[in-house]
Structure 1
Amino acid sequence: MQDTFVTIAKFQYSTEAEIIKGRLESDGIKVFLKDNITIDTDPLVSNAIGGIKLNVLAADEAKAKDILNSIKAYSLNDDGEAIVCPNCGKHRIELYSTITNFKSLVSFLIAFITGTLPFSARYQYKCEDCKTEFPIKN
């Protein structure tokens, strides 16, 4: 079981996957990228096939995940400071789109076609620790 590969992360494009691969290999972790050549050939299929999978040996999974968590970039405010969760006070905040269902997808597509995209796309922050969602403050 320790000689099998497990997927620990997925990336839309190969550039970020290659950077993370290099970082993990520099710490002695064997890394295998799956579907990177397919996506390099045709980047439009990335979402359809689930992106580039970053695989490591099962024995190195915990160490690799710790390294990934230590280098993960989180959202910053306009002054370059980490955004703080209003609920728990932690800094593990990510930006995400609120396009989550069919209705919001149709609204997004109509806005895109009519050229009003910046006014229709809505984004919020989400804390990875307590899962609190809060809006962007201007």
Structure 2
Amino acid sequence: MQDTFVTIARFPYSTEAQIVKGRLEADGIEVFLRDNITIDTDPLVSQAIGGVKLKVLAKDEEKARSILQSIKAYAVDDNGNAITCPNCKQNHVNLYSTITGFKSFFSFIIGFITGTLPISARYQYKCDNCDTVITTKA
């Protein structure tokens, strides 16, 4: 049981997974990435296959999760201050891309048909604790 790998994180692309892998390996944790070559070959399949899976040995899971939690960065404003959720007052806010509105949807369809990346995407901040969507002034 201790010689099996468990998934502790998923990433849409391999670049971020490689950075975290390097950090965990620096602390002596054996790390395995799954589906990174597939996604590097065709990034459009990332969401379909669940992204790049970061796996560690079951015996190192707790230590790896604590390291991962300590380096997880949340969204900051232009001055470097953490963005606070107005609903729950926590700083666990992340930036997500979303397809809302006709322009974003149309760009997604064109990108899907032609096999290219989207031309137009909208982004929104969302709290990981209470799922509140946060609007900021640009």
TM-score of the two chains, using structure 2 as the length reference: 0.78
The match for 1:79 is: 79
**How is 1:85-124 mapped onto 2 (pairs within 5 angstroms)?**
85-99=85-99, 104=100, 108-110=104-106, 121-124=121-124
Query: 2:10 aligns to what SS in structure 1?
Result: strand
C-alpha contact 1:11 1:17 (8 A) present in aligned 2: yes
The match for 1:136 is: 136
The answer to whether 1:30 aligns with 2:26 is no
RMSD: 2.3
What is the letter of the counterpart of residue 37 of structure 2?
Answer: I
C-alpha contact 1:123 1:135 (8 A) present in aligned 2: no
Write the distance in 2 (CA, Å) between the matches of 1:123 and 1:12: 16
Change (3 A) 1:111 1:46: closer
Write the distance in 1 (CA, Å) between the matches of 2:21 and 2:66: 14
Structure 2: runs of 5 or more not aligned: 111-118
What is the letter of the counterpart of residue 14 of structure 1?
Answer: S
- Number of positions where the alignment pairs a residue of Structure 1 with one of Structure 2: 129
Write the distance in 1 (CA, Å) between the matches of 2:130 and 2:48: 30
**How is 1:30-49 mapped onto 2 (pairs within 5 angstroms)?**
30-49=30-49
Write the distance in 2 (CA, Å) between the matches of 1:137 and 1:55: 38
Structure 1: runs of 5 or more not aligned: none
Residue 67 of structure 1 and its aligned partner are, at CA, apart by 1.1
TM-score of the two chains, using structure 1 as the length reference: 0.78
Q: Deviations over 1:25-80 (max 9, x none)?
A: 11111111111122223333222222211001112112111111111121111222
Identity %: 65
What is the letter of the counterpart of residue 105 of structure 2?
Answer: L
Residue 111 of structure 1 and its aligned partner are, at CA, apart by 5.4
Q: Deviations over 1:85-126 (max 9, x none)?
A: 112322111122343xxxx4866232566xxx76xx543322
C-alpha contact 1:88 1:130 (8 A) present in aligned 2: yes
